[in-house]
Each structure stands twice: as C-alpha cells, then as structure tokens.
C-alpha cells in the first residue's frame, strides 16, 4: 500500500445519500457517529458537500426519481470515490424490490465497492464494513 493510498484509507469522508428508505437505516448510520460507536477514531467524518466526499453511503430503495439524483451525485463527486450500499434495500431492493417505482438496486445504477446487508444493519455491522473497506487491497 503506497503512501497516497494509506492517506486515503485513513481519512474517509462520508457523504450520506438516503434513497426512498424506511428511515431505519438512516438512524443506524447516524448511530455510528454517536459517542458510543465514534467513527472519528478511524478518521471518518460526515461531510455536507459531495465535493468533499470519499465515500458515498447509499441506503434505501432507489426509485425512479432517486436514480437521476444518485447518478448526478456520482458524477459530481471527485474521484476516486467508494460507494457503499447499506441495508437490504440498498443491496438488493429488499421488501421494495417488487415495487412499481423501484429502479433497481444501487449496483445497477453505479458501481458499488461494499455491501452491508441487514434490515437495518447494526451500527457494529456498518463499522465493520467500513473498516474492511478501508483495509481492502
């Protein structure tokens, strides 16, 4: 692992995109940032602008309206960017997979680097997923 790569993996800034989720995954993601779980010890920060992001967290089912927004966000993000699909909805569509407005799970729209299944995944699972992502390669 080179110096550049090392710096990148030690300082992942996260941008959170909530699709048409049932809101449980959003709450679990916010849980990761609370004192109990504290993602900052891995250098992970939640940022408000996609221009600063290194990781795009996507949760919830992606419906037809979300798809354009998600694509636009992915295009606006400075590369390299990692995409993490969170929850059963993000990974496969979950209970919404048969829905009328469903526009495919995340990996049909943009390339995904990590999947964190669960409905909703526990904060521990999310942390373990992100740490594995940071240690990849």
Partner 1 sequence: MAVYLFYFLIFPGLLFMAVAGALLSWYDRKITARVQFRKGPPLLQPFYDFFKLLLVKETILPKHGSRSVFLIAPLLGVFGAAMAGLFILLPLFDIETGFRGDIIVIFYLLTLPSFSYIIGSLASGNPLAAVGASREMKLIISYELTFLLVVAAVIMKSGQQFDMNSIIETQQTGRPFIGSISGVLLFVAGVFCIQAKLALVPFDMSEAETELASGIYIEYSGPPYAMIKLAKYIMFFILPAFLVAILMNGMNPGVNIIWFILKILGVVLLLTLIRNTNPRLKIKQASGFFLIWMNLLVVVAIVLIAFGL
C-alpha distances in Å from residue 65, one per residue of 21, 102, 111? 13, 9, 19
CA dist., res. 83 & res. 47, Å (int): 15
Q: CB under 6 A: which stretch of 4-12, 31-39, 89-97, 124-132 binds ligand SF4? A: 89-97
Residue 25: CB minimum distance to ligand SF4, A: 3
Q: Which does 17 bind (CB under 5 to 8 A by kind): ligand SF4, partner 1, none?
A: none
Long-range contacts of 92-97, Cβ-Cβ distance < 8 Å, separation of 24 or more: 92/117, 93/61, 94/61, 94/119, 95/119, 96/20, 96/61, 96/63, 97/61
- Locate 73 and state its tokens: 């966000």
- Which tokens belong to 37? 């779980």
Total residues in contact with ligand SF4, by rule CB under 6 A: 13
Min dist CB 108 to partner 1, Å, is 25
21 binds, among ligand SF4, partner 1, none (CB under 5 to 8 A by kind): ligand SF4
In the shown chain, the binding pattern of residues 43 to 82 toward ligand SF4, with x for contact by CB under 6 A and - for none, equals ----------------xx----------------------
């Amino acid at each position: 692992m080179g110096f550049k790569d090392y710096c990148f993996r030690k300082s992942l800034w996260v941008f959170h995109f909530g699709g048409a989720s049932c809101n449980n995954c959003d709450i679990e993601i916010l849980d990761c940032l609370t004192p109990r779980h504290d993602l900052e010890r891995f250098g992970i920060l939640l940022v408000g602008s996609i221009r600063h992001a290194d990781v795009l967290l996507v949760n919830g089912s992606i419906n037809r309206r979300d798809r354009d927004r998600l694509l636009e966000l992915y295009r606006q993000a400075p590369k390299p960017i990692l995409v993490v699909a969170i929850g059963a909805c993000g990974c496969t569509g979950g209970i919404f997979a048969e829905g009328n407005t469903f526009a495919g799970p995340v990996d049909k729209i943009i390339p995904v680097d990590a999947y964190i299944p669960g409905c909703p995944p526990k904060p521990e699972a999310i942390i373990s997923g992100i740490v594995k992502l940071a240690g990849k390669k």
